[in-house]
Amino acid sequence: MSTHGMKHRYVLPTALAVLLLASVGAKEEKKEPVPERPIRVAIMPIVNGSPEIGATKIMEDILRDQLKDVPTERATFLKPSDTERLLSDRNALDRAYALNDRWSKYGTLDTTAVAGLDSLLVVDAILCVGVSEWENVRVNVVGRGQSNTTVGLRFALYDLKSLKKTWSKDPRETRFAQEVDPTSGSVTYDETGYIQSRKATEPPRFEDVAGDLVRAAFKKFPRR
């Protein structure tokens, strides 16, 4: 066989193999999945189950700050005040009250009140938020223990197509301040043990305790 023929004999199969690999690669590229768009979530007005009126405002501020850390490719949020405003503009604020009432009492979704909210708010899901505990205790007497703050929260995410609960958290924490050491000489107290300095008996801040709970709860917020 001539040298010219030998070259053709080996070049042709090699060329076919290259073309085959190229076509397979092209098909694999076409099969790459399209990234899911982020879930759009409307946060309902916060349900305050504690006697502290200021808890709602603090929680709104915490949610606004902490939810910035949730990747935008995973979820985007409509703040409680924005949800309330949009529903009010559409004369549908009574739906939010009905939803919150059913959820706060029974932990279930009012399917009548929720109907059509996906179109009304242009969202995929609603997030119900509740404050179950919100209390701080200041211990002013030496030897009586530590000042402390307790925060209990509730979260429930409902998909507006299936009307199913897809995620929930019920975080709670009692956080203690450092106990006053009467032998340290850093604080003054009277003969009854009453500590004179209010700063020495300050309980942990609500913002710090609730902020940590929200941050931990939303670390694994679902994409869908």
Judged against a pLDDT cut of 50, whether residue 7 lies above it is answered with no
pTM score of the predicted model: 0.79
| Least confident among 60-64, 121-125, 133-137, 201-205 | 201-205
Residue 144 has pLDDT above 50, yes or no: yes
Q: What is the 3-state secondary structure (H, E, C) of 33-96?
A: CCCCCCEEEEECCCEECCCCCCHHHHHHHHHHHHHHHCCCCCEEEECHHHHHHHHHHCCCHHHH
Predicted confidence (pLDDT) per residue in 31-57, tens digit? 555 567 899 999 999 999 999 999 999
Query: What one-character DSSP code corresponds to residue 122?
Result: T
CATH fold group of domain 38-220: Rossmann fold (3.40.50)
Q: State pLDDT tens for residues 51-103.
A: 999 999 999 999 999 999 999 999 999 999 999 999 999 999 999 999 999 99
* Ranges of each domain in the chain: 38-220
Tokens 């995973």 found at: 74
